[in-house]
Amino acid sequence: MSRSIGKERLPPSQYKVDKFPVLHVGSVPDFDQASWAFGVYSLVEKPLKLSWRDFLSLPSRKSVSDFHCVEGWSRLDNEWEGVSFRTILEIVKPKLEARFCTIECDGGYTTSLPIEDLMDEEVLFAYRLDGKELSPEHGGPLRLVVPKKYAYKSAKWVRRIKFTKEQELGYWKKRGYSNTADPWKEERYG
């Protein structure tokens, strides 16, 4: 599953790391499997609320992708396992006016992306990394993985998805970072 490591694998101004750095806003939340829930709401035909067990029963898939941090490091060939955004989309059936998703997380963190960006086949709600359960420090039990964006769009500790007509400002966009976050175009700041 590993791809060749060449300069073309790294976006401009990025450098390769082997160890996965731990960065996040706030403290790592506790995970209580009995009370944890994942929800989808707003502009959807079928709102959704799933327990942890229900979420794990959804079809899963693996995806190998690179991970690029806005701070300049990239970790290559990460093997993620989880539920595809496309799977969630098929279940909830967004209304025609829905164009964006706000991802809501424990601790108040949010990020927002166009549905079009989330439809990429590598986008997952991941609960495993490199064959192991995703650690809380890396976003476990559940994190969004959006490989073609800077990592601040790959939100940790995901709990809800809100489908919207207009794009809402996420945590980092409110603080001056780019909403498009394309590492190949170095879209770091808004």
What pLDDT, in 10s, does the model give residues 168-190? 999 999 999 999 999 999 999 87
Task: Decide yes or no: CATH 3.40.109.10 for domain 33-185.
Answer: no
**CA distances to 35, 60, 127, 134, 143 from 159, in Å:** 12, 18, 13, 15, 9
Q: Is 149 exposed, middle or buried (0-12, 13-18, 19+ CB in 10 A)?
A: buried
**Cα dihedral across residues 71, 176, 141, 3: positive or negative:** negative
Q: 136 pLDDT band (50/70/90 cuts)? A: very high
> Which pTM value belongs to this model?
0.92
The predicted-structure confidence for 29-66, as pLDDT tens digits, reads as follows 999 999 999 999 999 999 999 999 999 999 999 999 99
- Residue pair 87/108 in contact (Cβ under 8 Å)? The answer is no
pLDDT tens digits along 87-111: 999 999 999 999 999 999 999 999 9
Rounding to the nearest 10 degrees, give the CA dihedral for residues 141, 169, 182, 132: 0
Instruction: Tell me the pLDDT tens digit for each residue of 145-169.
Output: 999 999 999 999 999 999 999 999 9
